[in-house]
Amino acid sequence: MTASNTLAIVAACAGDPARASMLSILADGRAFTAGELSAVARVTPQTASGHLARMVDAGLLVVASQGRHRYYRLASPQVALMLESMMVVAAEPTHRLGRIGPSDERLRLIRTCYDHLAGRLAVGIADMLVEAGHLSLSGDGGELTDSGRIFLRRLGLDLADAKNGRPFCRPCLDWSERRHHLAGTLGARMMDHCLGAGWIKRSRSSRVVEVTPLGARKFRDVFGLRV
């Protein structure tokens, strides 16, 4: 199959409203059952099964069985990056009025983007690290400086074992802010730290992330960001 044919198949999978709804909820990296995804897409279980099978065949999703259930999730971080980029394009205003990005203020503040954070606070973290000289960021990737390694180590992030085959740091264009937040190993470790330290809590049914009172203080004191 040619690359153009593959592109057409992938685009068609993402182009259906029901499949787009399923992909959107899966964009935070978690796995869901067919029944859960049918409820999200507001289609019958039979219709959902057909959509899911098509996305698995296209390489957008993978499925794993656990007990009596089959769980679907995005096949790779590259699929999540594609979805976030498509959201940026789809949200472009067609006239001077109108607001870009999600209408939910909670999603605009902070949300999950596969295995890393997105939204205003996530962009603010990236900006602070760059402005403080802790991170050198380009369109191709990012690299911590000596001061950045010290800063993150004091924060409780030891990245000595970060060579795991995936990009260490990758800029990801934010759907609502239209600037970059951090993806790759650094972005994933940052989100894991915020969750483990009790700064944030994940929603059970959406990409919304709740900032705890402790997290509000930490985002202010550590990164200079106000919630």
- Domain ranges in the chain are 3-75, 79-223
What stretch of H or E contains 29? none
**Bridge partners, 118 (sequence order):** 111
Amino acid at 74: L
Residue range 6-60, pLDDT digits in tens: 778 777 877 788 998 899 888 877 888 999 999 989 999 999 999 999 999 989 9
**Comparing C-alpha atoms, which of 88, 127, 121 is closest to residue 106?**
121
Q: What is the pTM of this model?
A: 0.69
For domain 3-75, the CATH class is mainly alpha
CB 28 within 8 A of CB 113: yes
Task: Kindly state the tokens that stand for 221.
Answer: 């004191």
